Amino acid sequence: MSKIFKIFLCIGSFFFIFQACSKKPAGTKEKDASTFSTKEIQITPNVKMVSIKGGKYLPFYGDSSLVEVQDFLLDERPVTNAEFLDFVKKNPKWKRSNIKTLFADDTYLKNWQDDETLPKNADPEAPVTFVSWFAAKAFAKSAGKRLPTLDEWEYVAMADEESANARNKSEYSAHLINLYNEKLREKKKVQLSKPNYYGVYNMFDLVWEWTDDFNSIMTTADSRTGDFDDKGLFCASAATSAADVLNYASFMRYAFRSSLKANYTVENLGFRCAKDLQKNSK
Which stretches of the chain bind another protein, using CB under 8 A? Answer: 107, 170, 173-174, 177-178, 180-184, 219-225, 227, 246, 248, 251-252, 254-256, 258-260, 264, 266-269
- The three-state secondary structure class of 41 is coil
From residue 223, alpha-carbon distances to 182, 220, 232 in Å are 23, 7, 12
Least distance (Å) between residue 258 CB and another protein: 6
Q: How would you classify residue 114: left for phi > 0, otherwise alpha for psi between -120 and 50, otherwise beta?
A: beta
- Tell me whether residue 49 or residue 235 sits nearer to another protein (CB atom): 235
Residues facing residue 72 across a β-bridge: 52, 276
- Tell me whether residue 164 or residue 179 sits nearer to another protein (CB atom): 179
Least distance (Å) between residue 217 CB and another protein: 11
- Tell me whether residue 72 or residue 108 sits nearer to another protein (CB atom): 108
Least distance (Å) between residue 272 CB and another protein: 19
Least distance (Å) between residue 70 CB and another protein: 29
- Tell me whether residue 219 or residue 240 sits nearer to another protein (CB atom): 219
Instruction: State how far the Cα of 195 lies from the Cα of 7, in Å rounded to an integer.
Output: 49
DSSP assignment string, 114-155? BTTBPPTT--TTSBP-S--HHHHHHHHHHTT-BPPPHHHHHH
The answer to whether the beta carbons of residues 238 and 274 sit under 8 Å apart is: no
- Tell me whether residue 213 or residue 267 sits nearer to another protein (CB atom): 267
Least distance (Å) between residue 177 CB and another protein: 7
